[in-house]
Amino acid sequence: MNELMPIAVFGESLVDIVHSKSGASVRPGGSPLNVAVGLARLGADVEFATSVGEDTYGNLVLEHLTAAGVHVTPGSVGDAPTSAAEAIIGADGSASYRFDLQWAPSAKPQRAAIAGHLGSVSAVLQPGATCVVEWAADLSAESLVSFDPNIRPSITGTGQTLRDAVERAVAVSDVVKLSSEDLVLLGEPNLPERWVDGGTTLVVVTDGRRGARVVTRAGHLDVPARAVAVVDTIGAGDSFMAGLLWSLGCDGLLDQAALRQAPLERLAQHARFATDCAAVTVGRVGADPPTSADVADLPKRDQSVPVAS
């Protein structure tokens, strides 16, 4: 672990019950958990506040976090059963989900951190969402905050209540990453531009094989994805998020003032590293984020700065 890059993550843990043509498997998951594990594997010192039960699934989650070197906040284990998601893998590797999830955390991150991350169901599902966003708001007074809505319509819905919850999380965040699917569900194509005009420093929109768009008040740049064979897409966006935060941190940009001053082209290079992290993950079964060595082992590709479209 890298004690010079302490990062806190707050959100749901669950198990993914994955159904594919080869059968069913049970794996630890949940977007915030995947980001925490991804950051730890890359080398960050990660604290993760979550909610799991004292049951078989909870033990599986805790073992997974411990193996990655993630510090689990005391109080994250409670009486409620561990949440679960059923994922159905399509012929193209895409995943659709059905959730059995409750979110009422009893602990929040306790250690000092240079950055904090919130996301997905835990940032919008009550009663826990209020606690998560209030924690992020408090942290944002001194540290950088990132947010990934990672919308799951089957549990969050897609109406005004969801949009309002996303806006509350964005309002306390310096970095927002969302997918093209999230953008469609939120129903406002120009959201990234509105958010950066409203004070968010960096918005990144991921779009699968098409790569990612990096948006700041200075404009936007498109970063191509690496061409890889896709096994499934579970956890790809979470690996992207972890890779983006790690790469920004290695460049001294997990700092609100430094991030605001960073040129767009420099930020696009960090998004390129994040696309490489996602590329490793989609080539594996399930949410399996890479180590730095995994990313370094990828074939070299053109390192030129992307151009605005």
Residue 40 neighbours by CB under 8 Å, 6+ apart = 1, 46, 68, 69, 70
Cα(110)–Cα(294) distance, integer angstroms: 31
Query: pLDDT by residue (tens digit) across 202-233?
Result: 999 999 999 999 999 999 999 999 989 898 88
* Residue 304: per-residue pLDDT: 52
Q: Is residue 299 part of a domain?
A: no
Query: CA torsion angle for 110, 115, 116, 117 (degrees, to 10)?
Result: -150
Angle (CA) 165-88-27 rounded to 5° is: 80
- Please say whether the beta carbons of 17 and 126 come within 8 A: no
- Closest Cα to residue 150, out of 128, 188, 191, 120? 120
- Report how far apart, in Å, the C-alpha atoms of 207 and of each of 114, 138, 150 are: 28, 31, 13
pLDDT exceeds cutoff 90 at 240: yes
**Per-residue model confidence (pLDDT) at position 94:** 73
Mean per-residue pLDDT for 233-262?
Answer: 97
Contact 144, 114 (CB under 8 A): yes
CA distance 75 to 105: 9
Q: What's the pLDDT band for 309 if we cut at 50, 70, 90? A: very low
Q: Which of 1-5, 54-58, 162-166, 281-285 has the lowest mean pLDDT?
A: 1-5
Say which DSSP state 176 is in. Answer: E
Query: What pLDDT was estimated at residue 100?
Result: 84
* Domain encompassing residue 102: 2-291
Q: Give residue 184's pLDDT.
A: 97
Q: Does any domain span residue 30? A: yes
- What pLDDT sits at residue 1? 40
> What is the domain-level CATH number for residue 84?
3.40.1190.20
In a domain, 296, yes or no: no
Q: Is residue 306 part of a domain?
A: no
Q: Is residue 236 part of a domain?
A: yes
Instruction: Grade residue 116 by pLDDT with cuts at 50, 70 and 90.
Output: very high
Do β-strands 2-10 and 44-49 pair in parallel, antiparallel, or remain unpaired? parallel
Q: Residue 21: pLDDT band by 50, 70, 90 thresholds?
A: confident
- The proportion of the chain whose per-residue pLDDT surpasses 70, expressed as a percent, equals 94
Residue 297 belongs to some domain of the structure: no
In this predicted model, what pLDDT tens digit does every residue of 162-185 receive, in sequence order? 999 999 999 999 999 999 999 999
The answer to whether the beta carbons of residues 201 and 174 sit under 8 Å apart is yes
**13 Cβ contact partners less than 8 Å away, ≥ 6 residues apart:** 28, 29, 30, 32, 33, 50, 51, 52, 61, 65, 82, 83
Residue 308 inside a domain? The answer is no
How many distinct structural domains can be found in the chain?
A: 1
- What percent of the chain stands above pLDDT 90? 79
Query: What average pLDDT does the chain have?
Result: 93
103: tokens are 């979110």
Is 43 within a domain? yes
> 6-15, 93-102, 110-119, 165-174: which range is least confident on average?
93-102
pLDDT of residue 22: 72
